[in-house]
């Protein structure tokens, strides 16, 4: 079927609502099939409050709760929607993307109310909320490794507490931009006045504050007021609450429940998926998984180039393309390591007066790069596994369960676990597999090694080419 059917955006009128209610369209069936196509979490995030209604004999309206969601659904999921409706009805339809009037009406009422009370209200500043002004969405480099996380963070910042993303749980290894996104949400909310009271803190800081509260024999109410009288709670590195900190976890659970009951927004970051956080109350882990889980992966080559351009420009240095590519090609695991290499090159140039060239970079970064060669990337493992089994890389990440693909894929996931710093969740996302499937694949390969399976020879061949043999 074709993808050139017409789409449009408009504000839905009461007349159109009444007219559409007379039409026959199976909204539930469309929703169920779209959830099957896109997956549970993306469906909850983008289609949880979306309605499909027949406008006339040729057009179906896709009605979203706000313009941000509407534009995102049109941009990312138009083809899925068209194919789903075609499968159900056997005909092609025009899609008309619109938003309900209610959120806009509420926005106007809130705006008027805000103007009335603004004179008597002292606006919170970024420093009051423990925010760093430089951490904004404009300063965040978006790539395929973090696009979904960034888009979700922007949606939360624009409508805190009024989306299905509560809590928004962002996870990934250190140095990939989780804190930047967390603070960007707070800075945006305060600047655009989508929230009045924002608080950024860390898991460790929360722990220390609660311990102080207990030492004061709970006389001070500052702790309770600080965490309950807010519109957005941004908490970084929640994994620091794990372990033998039962009372602290219990207190955070009470705060979590109080805020969500009032439709206040909570955004959390962690260096791992909730399923991998050990010694944490199950009730908390269930709450984390009940919102939107998004991960950030290490930047690819193109994103590294974009980051280096931005960072060098901020340092007043204009680096030529070959120099940027040379730095980007060095093995780094996260953005911080990439920043470190760039800073070292710029500092060397400033101290010695030498012009920055590709040859100079190789000379200056030699020792630094040797210290970063601890692991390989999943993409490299994919390449070498595909080469060993003479299949395409795309097949390894596809949904096929054929044996000639399934076994190499299991080996890929096994090698990714032992030779990279990626979490099981990140590995699962790469191969379109869930957490339990990744664990099964790793266990399967470990059994091969114990039993001396002939496939172990292929694993050794791959590891040799990865420099791990």
Whether residue 167 is found in the same domain as residue 280: yes
Task: Indicate whether 156 belongs to any domain.
Answer: yes
Task: Indicate whether 344 belongs to any domain.
Answer: yes
Q: Give the pLDDT score at 114.
A: 46
Domain count, the chain: 4
Task: Determine the average pLDDT of the residues in 443-453.
Answer: 83
Q: How confident is the model at residue 400 (pLDDT cuts 50, 70, 90)?
A: confident
Task: Determine the average pLDDT of the residues in 388-413.
Answer: 86
Q: Among 338-342, 366-370, 379-383, 386-390, where is mean pLDDT lowest?
A: 366-370
Q: How confident is the model at residue 25 (pLDDT cuts 50, 70, 90)?
A: low
Tell me whether strands 94-99 and 168-171 are parallel, antiparallel or unpaired. Answer: unpaired
Q: How confident is the model at residue 24 (pLDDT cuts 50, 70, 90)?
A: low
Task: Determine the average pLDDT of the residues in 334-346.
Answer: 83
Task: Determine the average pLDDT of the residues in 265-294.
Answer: 89
Q: For residue 114, give both structure tokens.
A: 């805000």
180 or 65: which leads in pLDDT: 180
270 or 26: which leads in pLDDT: 270
Question: In 10 A of CB 336, how many CB atoms?
Answer: 12
In the 3-class helix/strand/coil scheme, how is the chain assigned residue by residue? CCCCCCCCEEECCHHHHHHHHCCCCCHHHHHHHHHHHHCHHHHHHHHCCCEEEECCCCEEEEEECCHHHHHHHHHHHHHHHHHHHHHHHCCCCEEEEEECHHHHHHHHHHHHHHHHHHHHCCCCCCCCCCCCCCCCCCCCCCCCCCHHHHHHHHHHHHCCCCCCCCCEEEECCCCCCHHHHHHHHHHHHHHHCCCCCEEEEEHHHHHHHHHHHHHCCCCCCHHHHHHHCCCEEEEECHHHHCCCCHHHHHHHHHHHHHHHHCCCEEEEEECCCHHHCCCCCHHHHHHHHCCEEEECCCCCHHHHHHHHHHHHHHCCCCCCHHHHHHHHCCCCCCHHHHHHHHHHHHHHHHHHCCCCCHHHHHHHCHHHHHCCCCCCCHHHHHHHHHHHHCCCHHHHHCCCCCHHHHHHHHHHHHHHHHHCCCCHHHHHHHCCCCHHHHHHHHHHHHHHHHHCCCHHHHHHHHHHHCCCC
Domain end among 86, 102, 118: 102
Task: Indicate whether 362 belongs to any domain.
Answer: yes
Task: Indicate whether 128 belongs to any domain.
Answer: no
Please state, rounded to an integer, the average pLDDT across all residues of the chain.
79
Q: Give the pLDDT score at 186.
A: 92
**Does position 152 have pLDDT exceeding 50, yes or no?**
yes
pTM: 0.56
**Does position 469 have pLDDT exceeding 80, yes or no?**
no
Task: Determine the average pLDDT of the residues in 90-96.
Answer: 86
Alpha-carbon dihedral angle through residues 335, 337, 340, 342, given to the nearest 10 degrees: -60
CB 403 within 8 A of CB 149: no
Query: Nearest-CA neighbor of 425 among 240, 234, 279, 277?
Result: 277
Task: Determine the average pLDDT of the residues in 53-67.
Answer: 82
115 or 55: which leads in pLDDT: 55
Dihedral sign (CA 384, 385, 386, 387): positive
293-302 tens-digit pLDDT: 998 888 888 8
Q: Among 61-75, 194-208, 317-331, 353-367, where is mean pLDDT lowest?
A: 353-367
**Does position 112 have pLDDT exceeding 80, yes or no?**
no
Q: For residue 74, give both structure tokens.
A: 């049109």
307 or 449: which leads in pLDDT: 307
Task: Determine the average pLDDT of the residues in 77-106.
Answer: 77
Q: How confident is the model at residue 35 (pLDDT cuts 50, 70, 90)?
A: confident
Q: How confident is the model at residue 410 (pLDDT cuts 50, 70, 90)?
A: very high
Q: How confident is the model at residue 1 (pLDDT cuts 50, 70, 90)?
A: very low
Whether residue 54 is found in the same domain as residue 153: no
Whether residue 346 is found in the same domain as residue 416: no
- Output the domain CATH number for residue 355: 1.10.8.60
**Does position 170 have pLDDT exceeding 90, yes or no?**
yes
Q: Give the pLDDT score at 53.
A: 84
- Output the domain CATH number for residue 218: 3.40.50.300
**Does position 370 have pLDDT exceeding 50, yes or no?**
no
Q: Among 104-108, 328-332, 349-353, where is mean pLDDT lowest?
A: 104-108
Residues 6 or more apart whose CB falls under 8 angstroms from that of 134 comprise: none
Task: Determine the average pLDDT of the residues in 239-268.
Answer: 88
Q: Give the pLDDT score at 188.
A: 92
Q: Give the pLDDT score at 267.
A: 95
Q: How confident is the model at residue 183 (pLDDT cuts 50, 70, 90)?
A: very high
Whether residue 413 is found in the same domain as residue 449: yes
Whether residue 260 is found in the same domain as residue 181: yes
Whether residue 160 is found in the same domain as residue 261: yes
Whether residue 240 is found in the same domain as residue 194: yes
CA distances from 74 to 61, 137, 428, 469 (A): 11, 22, 27, 48
Cα separation of 428 and 39, whole Å?
14
**Does position 288 have pLDDT exceeding 60, yes or no?**
yes
State what percent of residues in the chain have pLDDT above 90.
8
Dihedral sign (CA 339, 341, 346, 348): positive
Residue at token pair 């706000």: 66
Task: Indicate whether 207 belongs to any domain.
Answer: yes
Residues 6 or more apart whose CB falls under 8 angstroms from that of 323 comprise: 356, 357, 358, 361
Whether residue 397 is found in the same domain as residue 431: yes
Q: Give the pLDDT score at 119.
A: 38
Whether residue 289 is found in the same domain as residue 331: no
Cis peptide before 104 (omega within 30 of 0): no
Whether residue 44 is found in the same domain as residue 94: yes
**Does position 220 have pLDDT exceeding 50, yes or no?**
yes
37-50 tens-digit pLDDT: 888 777 877 887 78
Whether residue 281 is found in the same domain as residue 317: no
CB 114 within 8 A of CB 35: no
Task: Indicate whether 1 belongs to any domain.
Answer: no
Task: Determine the average pLDDT of the residues in 416-433.
Answer: 80
Q: Name the residue range of residue 315's domain.
A: 301-370
Residues recorded for the chain: 469
Q: Give the pLDDT score at 29.
A: 87
Q: Give the pLDDT score at 430.
A: 79
Whether residue 278 is found in the same domain as residue 196: yes
Q: Give the pLDDT score at 129.
A: 65
Q: Give the pLDDT score at 367.
A: 52
Domain end among 280, 295, 310: 295
Task: Indicate whether 135 belongs to any domain.
Answer: no
Q: Give the pLDDT score at 219.
A: 57
- Output the domain CATH number for residue 396: 1.10.1750.10
Q: How confident is the model at residue 180 (pLDDT cuts 50, 70, 90)?
A: very high
């Amino acid at each position: 079927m074709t993808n050139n059917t017409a789409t449009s955006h408009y504000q839905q009128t009461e007349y159109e609502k009444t007219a559409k209610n007379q039409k026959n369209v199976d909204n539930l069936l469309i929703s169920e099939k779209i959830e099957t196509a896109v997956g549970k979490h993306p469906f909850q995030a983008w289609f949880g409050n979306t309605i499909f209604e027949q406008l006339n004999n040729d057009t179906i309206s896709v009605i979203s709760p706000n313009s941000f969601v509407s534009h995102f659904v049109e941009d990312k999921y138009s083809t899925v929607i068209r194919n789903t409706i075609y499968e159900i009805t056997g005909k092609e339809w025009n899609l008309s993307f619109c938003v309900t009037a209610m959120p806009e009406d509420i926005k106007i009422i809130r705006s008027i109310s805000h103007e009335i009370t603004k004179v008597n209200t002292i606006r919170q500043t970024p420093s009051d909320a423990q925010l760093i002004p430089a951490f904004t969405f404009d300063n965040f480099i978006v790539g395929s490794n973090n696009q979904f996380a960034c888009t979700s963070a922007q949606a939360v910042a624009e409508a805190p507490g009024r989306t299905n993303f509560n809590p928004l749980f962002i996870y990934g290894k250190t140095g990939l931009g989780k804190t930047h996104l967390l603070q960007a949400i707070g800075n945006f909310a305060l600047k655009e006045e989508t929230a009045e009271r924002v608080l950024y803190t860390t898991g460790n800081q929360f722990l220390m504050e609660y311990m102080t509260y207990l030492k004061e024999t709970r006389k001070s109410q500052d702790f309770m007021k600080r965490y309950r009288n807010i519109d957005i709670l941004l908490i970084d590195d929640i994994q620091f609450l794990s372990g033998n900190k039962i009372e602290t976890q219990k207190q955070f659970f009470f705060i979590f429940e109080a805020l969500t009951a009032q439709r206040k927004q909570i955004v959390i970051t962690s260096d791992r998926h909730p399923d991998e956080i050990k010694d944490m109350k199950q009730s908390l882990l269930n709450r984390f998984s009940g919102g939107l889980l998004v991960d950030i992966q290490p930047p690819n080559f193109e994103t590294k180039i974009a980051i280096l351009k931005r960072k060098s420009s901020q340092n007043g240095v204009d680096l030529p393309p070959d120099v940027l590519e040379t730095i980007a090609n060095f093995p780094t695991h996260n953005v911080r390591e990439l920043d470190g290499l760039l800073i070292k090159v710029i500092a060397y140039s400033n101290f010695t007066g030498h012009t920055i060239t590709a040859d100079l970079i190789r000379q200056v970064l030699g020792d630094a790069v040797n210290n970063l060669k601890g692991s390989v990337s999943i993409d490299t493992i994919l390449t070498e596994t595909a080469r060993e089994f003479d299949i395409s890389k795309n097949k390894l990440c596809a949904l096929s369960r054929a044996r000639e693909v399934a076994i190499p894929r299991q080996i890929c996931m096994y090698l990714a676990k032992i030779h990279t710093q990626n979490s099981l969740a990140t590995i699962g996302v790469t191969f379109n597999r869930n957490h339990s499937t990744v664990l099964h694949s790793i266990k399967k390969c470990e059994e091969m090694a114990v039993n001396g399976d002939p496939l172990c020879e292929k694993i050794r061949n791959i590891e040799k080419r990865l420099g791990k043999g």
